[in-house]
A and B are shown apart, each in its own frame.
Chain A
């Protein structure tokens, strides 16, 4: 099967041809191995590069690290790609676009979450505008940790993805346990302006300390050393 979803029933024409003639189906395993080899070694990636990890992705695609040598070429459109690399922080405003681009990619497709922001939101996790990990709204196959991960780490992630594809097609893959309490888009810990739950700078002493400042007198510049 050339798709990675159980409910899809696309059969490669090569299989149909082999099954039509009696005796030729002994070639099925060889054909399967050839297709797997082709699939794992031509993973074209769609860089969903939003921030810092995108720069590191560019470094990985460039001359020193050279993603091309493992058959991984970055393309600018989702319709030509097999793997989406989510590199960078995904905000609430950006998440619908990411989902849309993911839906536009043809099957078979895989996703790599690159960097802490894409994996869990990192230290922006509690901010009102940041999605705490892209696996809250789309499937992710491989997680590459780091802030940002080195290009070497991205290479490792792609090799692990190739391994996963191979094992899955050989029927040796066991799905890892789903996290029982995967967080969704939850209410942020730092409230928006005007929220009653916004607890920062609420103490009167703190407010007084700031309101009592003389902006002219308090303003010090580097060249005006106190």
Chain B
């Protein structure tokens, strides 16, 4: 696995490469360093760069990491256990809080899981609202990621918080669209089994079109901002290279996998909902480093904006839910069975595995979050890297701790 140190003079970089020749996540630190000369550094759990409450125990030789051990569970909220205590209708607002920057995708995944149990299919108008929401959420989530990635870079992008301020301005405008649609800024509780709860209000389409026209122009701005920035390129190019085989063996999906050259997107390869009729252009990159992940996410945002504009053209009239009495919590009672549904969330394959026992509550509800799998790359990527590069690598994997710990 190549280790990138593009910003270092070549002799120094060669020395670092020689020191940590083979990154081994299961390195026995005791035998590697019997005299205890390594510096043990706890990154987190309260650290602005860990995107939440992740704790990483780093063994540092000088400034070069020898081993990294992530410790999870600082945000374990027992969501899967809580789902067993609630009825199918009550679960939707709970799963909003899992991946809290892409709440719409969570709702979509869990409700699709329930719908496979019930054997119902939402009406076309609800399908449109779902696809629209999912694509808008993808843009909002990636905007937040670009902003926080700029923060991880420190001063590389003109004073740290500059890009952050820019992307949050655009993200707020998307949240406004969601607020008009659902009445809530980002924990929507808008989907339910068999369809949606909120219909598109009058004039909403114009608002969304205007918003995304602005964002489309601004993405060009970010790109020019970043492409001409020598520091950004030096800190991302060749840093944190993910091998495609390693990524596949760890179950990584989403932009991280696509940036490593694996052309896999659930929206195209196992289509669900409206994506059966839509043609989705999947963005890939082959380098597998932080810059490739940045490029893939930028391309995905462009594609999502195209899809949003396409979907807004053809919203059909009709009902938004196939089930009538879904307002009462106990009325949804699937037959005993097992259902699995997976969607392409902004971070990858977000799956829901539900076991029903015939009552109005699920017997077991397993949520397969892509963040955990992306985060499991870190012990493989960190050895041999500088401390500052580890922060960038971790940021580029985009883990959301609410989804990792659940």
Interface of A toward B, CB cutoff 8 Å:
48, 50-52, 54-56, 58-59, 62-64, 76, 88-89, 91, 93-94, 97, 101, 123-124, 127-130, 147-148, 150, 190, 200-201, 206, 209-210, 212-213, 215, 218-223, 225-226
Contact = CB atoms under 8 A, between A and B. Distances in A.
Nearest to B47: A76
B81 interface: yes
Interface stretch (B11-19, B199-207, B333-341, B387-395): B333-341
Interface string B319-350: 00000000000000000111111000000000
A93 B73 contact: yes
Given A94-B74, A201-B357, 12 more contacts: A50-B74, A51-B75, A59-B171, A63-B169, A64-B172, A89-B75, A91-B76, A130-B78, A148-B185, A190-B81, A218-B338, A223-B276
A101 B47 CA distance: 12
A63 to B, nearest CB: 5
B185 A127 contact: no
Interface stretch (B94-102, B221-229, B253-261): B94-102
A48 B82 CA distance: 25
B75 A200 contact: no
B101 A50 contact: no
Nearest to B185: A150
B303 interface: no
A66 to B, nearest CB: 9
Contacts of A55: 100-101, 144, 186
Given A50-B52, A124-B82, A213-B355, A94 B168 contact: no
B168 A64 contact: yes
Nearest to B273: A222
Contacts of A210: 336, 355, 357, 363-364
B210 interface: no
Contact of A63 (B73, B84, B144, B165): B165
Contact of A94 (B53, B94, B112, B336): B53
Contact of A128 (B52, B78, B117, B168): B78
A126 to B, nearest CB: 8
Contact of A213 (B46, B81, B338, B359): B338
Given A48-B46, A64-B172, A190 B338 contact: no
Interface string B41-70: 000011010001100000000000000000
A97 B77 contact: no
A94 B45 contact: yes
B85 A190 contact: yes
A220 B168 contact: no
Nearest to A147: B187
Contacts of B363: 201, 206, 209-210
B165 A220 contact: no
A62 B116 CA distance: 41
A51 B166 CA distance: 22
7 contacts: A50-B401, A55-B144, A58-B168, A94-B74, A127-B82, A148-B187, A220-B338
- A-B complex: 6 closest residue pairs judged by Cβ atoms: A52-B100, A62-B168, A127-B78, A209-B357, A218-B338, A222-B272
A99 to B, nearest CB: 12
B270 A223 contact: yes
A128 to B, nearest CB: 6
Interface in B146-190: 164-166, 168-169, 171-172, 175, 185-187
Nearest to B353: A219
A97 B73 CA distance: 13
A223 B357 contact: no
Contact of B74 (A54, A91, A209): A91
Contact of A215 (B48, B117, B338, B357): B338
Nearest to B116: A220
A218 B77 contact: no
B247 to A, nearest CB: 23
A200 B84 contact: yes
A171 B66 CA distance: 57
B339 A220 contact: yes
B212 to A, nearest CB: 18
A130 to B, nearest CB: 6
The CB with the most chain A CB atoms within 10 A, among B85, B97, B340, is that of B97
Nearest to B364: A210
Contacts of A130: 77-78
B316 interface: no
A76 B364 CA distance: 40
Contact of B53 (A50, A59, A209, A225): A50
Given A94-B53, A223-B272, A64 B338 contact: no
